[in-house]
Structure formats: structure tokens, C-alpha cells
Amino acid sequence: MMQQQKILIIGFVWPEPNSSGAGTRMMQLIDLFQEHNWKITFASAAADSEFMFDVTTIGVEKVSIAINDATFDSFIQELNPSLVLFDRFVVEEQFGWRVAENCPNALRIMDTVDLHCLRLARQKASKEKTELKQEDLFSDTAKREIASILRCDISLLISEIEMDLLQTHFKIDKSILYYLPFLVETIRKSTVQNWPKFQERKNFVFIGNFLHEPNWNAVQFLKESIWPLIRKQLPKVSMLIYGAYPSQKVLQLHKPDELFFVLGRADNAEEVVKNARIVLAPLRFGAGAKGKLIEAMQCGTPSVTTSIGAESMNGNLPWNGIIADEIQSIVDAAIRLYQDQVLWLKVQENGIEIVNKRYSKTLFGNDFIQHILDVQKNMEKHRWNNFIGSILLHHTVASTKYMSRWIEAKNKNN
């Protein structure tokens, strides 16, 4: 019988599955651990938010923690987890050394969510209208993020492209990396039968968290360059923009007279996407896998997106829509797919195949759990093989520890 694990998840924020792909991803990991009857404590230094999911309703203990505070040391010593999951590299930076010092035998896993250094390098190249340069990739953010990956026993990647990038460009050993995509339910025939039909759907939709820079950039691109051209040919069709945390700049793009509607947070994202005919997501930079495009497939809604948007998502399978990168190509693809029912139905089938062959949790969940158990069983050898990580951890503990202690002492004196 499999031993029960005691897991501590340290969140960058409290999970908001209705606000972001990262929140959805976190809930999928919690669900997977709970399927194996593992006991979970979720801790975060973030403030509570209005839209966070209350993890206590599903039997997860919720604990508020503080950065640069020794109370975390006594908390984790008492909890004594067998596994600690860091939500993104900035969380590992803050708490990784404390975990290693107080619970050295706990397996340390980091969920990268996306490679921040890749996303920021692409963002820089996009704004400067240049090709992605190697020096942009080897940034200070990359140094921090790669150091976190090396300090952990396992780092989770949601994109095969990023798995390859870490191994080829940054020379990270595959043994400390693990590809774990979004984990979703298989799409069954009964689900498909309940989807709205082509004729019952209307309008284009974009949905995304506006705290995430690629989403804001994509909406600007839509408003300024793409929507005016689509509207000339489809004058009665609307562009619906949904997303959590829209700034005043985002809300100012709301132009009902142009049928361009900025509607803020969706009360029910699934219903919004299910009733749209097409998800239009012209992302010009980004990384990881796009939750909005998985959601589109789960709702039977074809998408028009860019190479960046679709990157690493469909493998060798045909896309759930059309991939285009130039303005006119995106416009032509959107108009064609909106009007061509035969093509629309064909690419809808592609989406079902992508979800069922590349994201079904039955394909990945048990293998990941087994990988955790295998690494735990051979922890000492696993860490010997990652000696560079041990060196980094040694020096990080020395430097970060004393900086943190200094901040802690300073806070007490104030």
C-alpha cells in the first residue's frame, strides 16, 4: 500500500482558478495529490483575495505565512512535510533555504508555471521589434530562475519546448526536470453532444488575466490592428474581451459603437467560451501552455492564435483552429473560420483529439506520482547527481539566510 504523504504547498498567491491558468493548474495538482489520499497544507504570504478559492472546503489546511520571518521555521518543523511544492521560482527564493535547513529530507518540487526568463525575453524582443537574442535569454531573471531549478529536486515544466530549452541552452540535467502538462478530464461523446452547435454560437471572445502582460498586449493588438479589419467584413459580429483584474487602461478600450466590448471578469468563463464561435488570441509573446486555449478545446470552441499561442500545445496533431502570425493572416483566418462551418467542425474535432491525447490526466497523473515515490526512495543518489544544485543551495543558504535574518531583525527594531 502506498504511504500517505504530508505535503506543503507554498503558493505565490492563493489559487484563483477562475482568474488564471496558473490557478487552474494549482487546483489540478491539489486534486491529483488528494486522489492518492495525500494530506495537503497550503501556505502563502499573499493577502486573501476576493476571488480566491477556499481550499478548506476540499479538506486542505490553509496557513498564512510571512517572508523574512523565523515563525516559518517553527511552522515547518512542526508540520514536518515529506514533500514541499514551491509555486514559481520567486517562492523558492524566499522559502527554499528555510525548507532545506529545517526539513532536509523533504522532497523539494518547484512548479515553474512558465519559464519567466523566456517570457520576459520574448516580451523585450516584441517591444523592440527584434528577433529573440541569446543575450536576452541569459538575463538576470534567467540566472535566478535557473538557480532555483538547480536547487530543487524536481522542477515541473508545462511545455515540452521549455523542457528542451533548459537542456540545450542552459545545460540542465533531465533528471531534475519533469514534463507535466495541464491535467484535464477526457472529453467524452456525451459532453460533445451538449455543446452549442455552430449556428447557436456567435461572436469572437478573448479571455485572460490582465495582471499577465501577454494578455494586455494581445488585447491592444486586437483593438488597434486586427479588429478594425475584421469588422469591415463582419460588421454585425462583436469582439468580447473578458479577464480578471482589468486596469483603467484596459477598460478604456471598451468601445460599444465599434462592437468591441471590454467586460471584465467573467462570472462563468466556461459559458462565455462555449457560446462564442471562436476564441481569438493573437498573443505576441509569452511562455508555457495557454490555459485559455485548453479551455477553448474543452468547450468545443475553435481558436485563432499565433505560433507563440499554440507553442508546444498540440505536438504533431493538427490545431484546434488556425495558427497565424501576421496581421492580415490573422484577420483572414478569423473571418474564414467564423464563416466556414465545415472547417469549423473539422477543427473542433482536432481540439477533442489534442485534449484526449495530450492533456488527459489519466495519461500523466499516476506516472508523476510514481516518479515522486521513486525519487524519494533514492533521494541521496538523486541529490548527488545534482551536485551543482547542492553547491548553489549551500551558498544560497549562506547569503540569503543572513540577508533574511538582517531584514527580520530590522523589522523587529522598527
Query: Whole-prediction pTM value?
Result: 0.91
Q: Say how far apart CA 196 and CA 193 lie, in whole Å.
A: 8
Answer yes or no: is pLDDT of 111 > 90. Answer: yes
For the cut 50, the answer to whether the pLDDT of residue 260 exceeds it is yes
User: All domains of the chain, ordered by start, with CATH?
Assistant: 6-183+361-413 (3.40.50.2000), 189-358 (3.40.50.2000)
Quote the CA–CA distance of 212 and 357 in Å, as a whole number: 28
Question: pLDDT tens-digit profile of 113-166?
Answer: 999 999 999 999 998 889 888 888 999 999 999 999 999 999 999 999 999 999
For residue 300, the 8-state DSSP code is T
Examine the pLDDT at 1 and tell me if it is beyond 50.
no
pLDDT, tens digit, for every residue of 349-397?
A: 999 999 999 999 999 999 999 999 999 999 999 998 888 888 877 766 5
Measured CA to CA, the distance from residue 166 to residue 392 in angstroms comes to 17
234-251 mean pLDDT? 95
Amino acid at 100: A
**Sign of torsion, CA 247 249 250 251?**
positive
**What mean pLDDT is predicted for residues 253-260?**
97
Question: What is the b/e burial string over 219-251, where b = at least 16 CB atoms within 10 angstroms of the residue's CB?
Answer: bebbbeebbebbbeebeebbbbbbbbbbeeebe
The answer, yes or no, to whether residue 176 has pLDDT greater than 50, is yes
How high is the pLDDT of residue 398?
Answer: 59
